[in-house]
Amino acid sequence: MAGQDKVTLHGFWASPYAKRVELALILKGIPYEYVEENLPSKSSELIKYNPVYKKVPVLVHNGKALSESLVIVEYIDETWKTGPKLLPEDPYKRAQVRFWANYLDQLFGSMLNALKSIQGEAQQNAFMEVSHKLEVLEEGLKSFYPDCAQVDAASVGLVDLVMVCMFGGRKVQEEVLGINVIDHEKIPLVSAWITALGDIPLVKEALPPHDKLVAFLKYIREYALKSSAP
């Protein structure tokens, strides 16, 4: 029945939140139409379908719209039974998955603050916060997800999607920021996990091109630095 459904995703190519939804659709084998949004000039459809936040991603399934990426991915997992199971059936394990997915969103928020921070003490503090949260994640993975480095297309879950869409472009982030964000010596499990996810062919194909993303992040950083200048 799902194969007869009409699915449309409104996204933005550089958005890790839209990308995680797109990857969920791809890994599940769900046919969909993609609408690239121009965020400075949002389409009337985006505003219509997401009147509260007016942002991507928005999934429209048979005329019914959903917003907020984590909500959308759960909906996809519950609606379509094809492909990998993105959340476990066990209620406790599902709660753990939701916890770490939300933790990764907070971690990425800290990463964005580092990207936009000016040189000097502010930038150093921003990176210290990112580093601390990554170390907490490393410890959490040892008990929650010890085999994460063995992940493949058949075993990808929600936390994997969140992680690879936010840090799959770590080399881009390192090039723009001039710092080794994911230090293999300090957080080997996280580093191996990201590498394993990035090596999955479907994931590798779906992630944004390196050079294009470098240019975009440089623009975001330069704009932020100019805005904060006295």
CATH of the domain at 50: 3.40.30.10
Amino acid found at 111: M
What's the average model confidence in pLDDT over 28-56? 95
pLDDT at 229 over 70: no
Question: By residue range, what is the domain housing residue 167?
Answer: 91-228
Same domain? 171 vs 57: no
Q: How many domains does the chain have?
A: 2
Are residue 120 and residue 185 in the same domain, yes or no?
yes
Assess whether pLDDT exceeds 60 at residue 43.
yes
Nearest to 116 by CA among 128, 126, 106, 104: 126
Q: At residue 157, what are phi and psi to the nearest 5 degrees?
A: -125, -175
Strands 33-36 and 7-11: parallel
Q: Assign 66 to helix, strand or coil.
A: strand
Q: How far apart, in whole angstroms, are the C-alpha atoms of residue 220 and residue 126?
A: 16
Q: Is residue 2 part of a domain?
A: no
Q: What is the pLDDT of residue 116?
A: 78
Residue-wise pLDDT tens digits, 61-99: 999 999 999 999 999 999 999 999 999 999 999 999 999
Q: Is the pTM of this model over 0.85?
A: yes
One domain, residues 66 and 168 = no
DSSP 41: G
Q: What is the pLDDT of residues 25-40, one digit of tens each?
A: 999 999 999 999 998 8
> What is the pLDDT at residue 1?
42
2: confidence class by pLDDT, cuts 50, 70, 90:
very low
Closest CA to 134 of 160, 103, 102, 88: 103
Q: How much is the pLDDT for 230?
A: 60
For residue 3, what pLDDT is reported?
47
